[in-house]
Amino acid sequence: MTQVERKVTLISHTQVAEKFYDGFDRYVHAYEGNDYDDLGITDAQALALTAIRTCYSPGKPSEIVAKEGARYFKKKATDGGEGTDADRLIRMIVSSGHTSTLEGITFNFAVEGVSRALLAQLTRHRVGFSFSVQSQRYVKFGSNDRSGGFDYVMPETVSAHNAGSIRFNQIMDEIQSYYDELREIGIPAEDARAVLPQASACNLVLSVNLRSLLDFYGKRRKGNGAQAEIAGLCEDLRKAVVDVEPWTDAFFEEAGK
C-alpha cells in the first residue's frame, strides 16, 4: 500500500492519414505554396480547417487544405490577433459557438494515481468522453496480492496538516487490514472492495475530443470552485495537449475565463 501522486501521459492524438495528404500532390502546381509539409501546421489544425471550411465553402473536404492551406496558414491573422489567419478563423468559429468543428480532434491519455473521488467527478462529464478504468472487482488489492495492497491519494488539505496526515495514513492502514481480513475469510474481491475508501487510487485511459475537453476545463479549472485534485488534473491535461498542439492554448485560456 502506497500513497501515490497523479501522473498524466498523452498516449495518442489526432493524426492525418497518409492517403489524405498524398492526394495533395495534384494541386501543388496549381496552388503554389500549398504543399502540406511546408505549411508548418499540425494534423489537428489541418482537420480543424477542413471541418470549418467544409461548412462554409463549396470546396470538397479532401481538397480544402491543399487548395486553401497557404491562404490561412501562411498569412498573419487579419483580425489583428495572435497567430495566422487560420488561428483567426478558428477563434471566430469558437466564439460563434460552432464548436462541433473541433469534435474530430481527439486525445487519449494514460491517467494514473487519481482517487475514486476524482473518478466520480470526472465521469459526470460524459459527452465526448470515454473511460477505461482499472477494476476493483478483478484486480485484487490484498497486502499479499501482486498489487501489494491498495494505493491511495491524500488530499492537499490533509497533507498540509501534520496531525491530519498522520491520522489519515493510520486510517488507510486500518482499512487495508479490514480488506485483508475479509479476503482471508473467503470474501471475494468484488465484495471486499466495499470497504475501500474514496481515497483509493485508480488508473484509467481517458479519451476525449477537444470541444469536450475545453468545456471540462472551463468547469473544473483551478479558481472556479473545483476540488484541488480535479483542478490539478485539468492543468495536466491542458499541458499535455498544448505540448503537441500549441495553438490550443489560447482556447484553454478563453475557456477558463
By annotation, the residues acting in catalysis are 220
Nearest to 39 by CA among 56, 27, 52: 27
Nearest to 203, CA basis, from 108, 115, 107, 106: 115
State how far the Cα of 66 lies from the Cα of 83, in Å rounded to an integer. Answer: 20
The partner residues of 107 in beta bridges, in order of sequence, read 13, 208
The CA-atom distances, in angstroms, between 94 and each of 118, 128, 169, 199 are: 29, 17, 46, 37
Pairs from 30-37 (Cβ < 8 Å, separation ≥ 24): 31/66, 31/67, 31/70, 32/70, 33/70, 33/74, 34/65, 34/66, 34/67, 34/68, 34/69, 34/70, 36/65, 36/66, 36/69
